[in-house]
Structure formats: structure tokens, C-alpha cells
Amino acid sequence: MSLTSNTANTVHLRVALTLAMAGCIALMAGCGGGGDAGSPDGVAAASDTDGTARAQATSTWTRVASEGKSFTVDGVKTVRYGADGKYVYKSVSSTGKCSNSFFGSDPNVGVSKHCDVKGSTDTPPPPTGVDLTDPRKKDIAMQLVSSAENSSLDWKAQYTYIEDIDDGRGYTAGIIGFCSGTGDMLDLVEYYSGNTPGNVLAKYLPALRKVNGSDSHSGLDPNFQKDWHTAAKDSAFQKAQDHERDRVYFNPAVNQAKADGLRALGQFIYYDAIVMHGPGEDSVSFGGIRKTAMKKAKTPAQGGNETTYLNAFLDARKAAMLTEAAHDDTSRVDTEQRVFLKNGNLDLNTPLSWKTYGDPYTIK
């Protein structure tokens, strides 16, 4: 009797343990530990309360849309449509819709489905190099701009530079091309005069205010260029040029590029664009150029490919340059920035070799 009883008790115990373990496994799956049934890859759920699915990455597939929603991919990607291990697959370029009609069939009738893209696209790759605020990188950026603006890598020699280049902006001067007709030269001289009262350029402030917005030299000639050369020997004026360059151009460009998920090359591309086109929002200013590019490609911060986006930005930048006769030489894009991009040098690492206006340059 005791042997039979023990045997029965053992069987009951094993059954109980088996049922308990099954319950635990089911509980774990219900808490998100099991992924999609029948799918060994597993895909995190996506939120599309705003009408557009938010991609959430796994090691193999990334959810891009729930059934009925539209989605966008960079380049040509493999997208699967279905649920619970039953999928149809399609190569998709640009945009698509997570629907039976788009994919040509219903892989799992009566079940709510979703679309996943092969590979993870929601997070840009982590930067592997320093950004443009690094002193060495910043100096490289200054040399690159100087090669296009002054046909020289010696950007520190440009504090004294001043001439009218007949682009409708009056005098262009200094390390970044401050212009008497666009307001940044006025801001510079006001800042310099605030720190150094009675300087040789302070007397031109009334004239600079009057010619702002035009190409006029009224009140500046005949001695403004000579006095600019004199001021450029003053270290306080050199520091003022550095300050205004960073405040108006460098810092805003780099900060926006970093927010867009761009590394040092992209930061420089933004900086060079804002130097030439200004920080405005019209179609041929930096803000407008960026908006045009973003209609063609997503930024890395939006889940886009960095090279694809930068090519779109350079396309928009080149189009803006061609609207002005003074900027119709686009070599700073074609044989400089595009060269670095084609070489995959997203961190703007040296050595660098390029051409502007046909002249070759190298930074080792």
C-alpha cells in the first residue's frame, strides 16, 4: 500500500510542477518576454497614435507601421507584412503602405498585421570621432572655408581682408566675409566698439546703419578699407571677429547639425552653407536649404542615412548657389565637400585633399 501510494503521489507532484512551469512561461510571454508568436526574431510593438508608426529596433527587424498605415524607408529595403510568423515580403523603395493591396495578399486572414523593415534604422550610428568644436577640427573648418573664400589656407591672415566682390552685398571683409549690406559687419563693428570705445572704425557706425540692406558705399569711402586694415592689427578686433563668427555662424550651424545627428563633416557642411547663404529661412538661405533637403531625405536623428541626407543637402545647396551669378562656381560643393562625402569621411579626418576653383589643397 505504501509503495502504491508513493508512486501515485510522485505522479501527482510531477503533473503539478509541469502545470506550474507552463503557467510561469505563459505569464512571462504575456509581459513582453516572448515577442511575436511563431517569430524567432521578435519585434517590439510600435506606437502609431499620431498616425505614423514610430520605429522601434531589434537586432534583425524594425517595426515601421501597423496595418493601414504608411511608412518610409531609405533606399531599397526588404519589408515584411503579416503577423504571428505568417508574412509576405517585398522590396520597397521610398514609401509604402502596410496593407493587403500594397503587398498583394493577406498573409494571415482575420489577424491584425504590421510591417517590419529588415535591419535597424531608428537610431543613427554612434559618432566615432570628435565634433567640429574640437580645436583641431575647428581650425580645419576655418582652413576649408578660407580656401573657398580667399584662395588660401591661412585663414588668420584674413582679418585684414576687405573688398567689394560685386555680389550686391557691399563690402565683404574679415575672416568670414562680414558684409556691409547684410548687417553682420554692422554687428561686428558695434561689438568691437562696445569693447574698445574710440576705435578707428567706430566713426563709421552711422554710415554702416544707413547702407545696411544695400550695396552702397555711402559714408564709407574713401578711407573705410584703409581703416579696416588698421583695425585688423588690433588683437581686440581680431577677437571681435572670432566672437561674431561663432555667435552668428559657427555655433548655430554646429548645434543644428548635432541635433540632426550629423558628425564633423555634416557640421562643416552646415557651417559653410550658413557662411555663404546666411541663417535665414527663405529658399536660398541656410534654413530654407535645410528644409528642401529634408523633403528629400530624413536626417540621421529622424532615422535616415547620414550620407543620403548630406547628398540631399548638397543638392539643395548647389541649387541655391546657382541662383546667384556671384556664386555660380560650385566647386566648394563639387570638388571639396562632395569628395569628402564620397570617400566616407564623415568624421572629417585628415589627410584631406580637395580643389576649389580648380586650385588643389591638402591638409595633412
Which residues are known catalytic residues?
Answer: 149, 167
Write out the H or E segment, with its range, that includes residue 255: helix 251-259
In sequence order, the β-bridge partners of residue 237 are none
The SS3 call for residue 150 is coil
List phi, psi (to 5°) of 358: 85, -10
Q: Residue 255's Cα: distance from chain center in Å?
A: 10
**Which residue matches cell numbers 570705445?**
197
List phi, psi (to 5°) of 355: -135, 140
The SS3 call for residue 22 is helix
The SS3 call for residue 72 is strand
Q: Is 262 left (phi over 0), alpha (psi -120 to 50) or beta?
A: beta
Residue 89 half-sphere exposure, CB side, CA atoms within 13 Å? 7
Give dist(CA 45, CA 53) in Å, integer: 10
Give dist(CA 275, CA 272) in Å, integer: 5
The sign of the CA dihedral 143, 144, 147, 149 is negative
Other Cβ atoms closer than 10 A to 328 = 9
The sign of the CA dihedral 225, 227, 229, 231 is negative
List phi, psi (to 5°) of 83: -170, 160
Write out the H or E segment, with its range, that includes residue 308: helix 306-321
Amino acid letter, residue 338: R
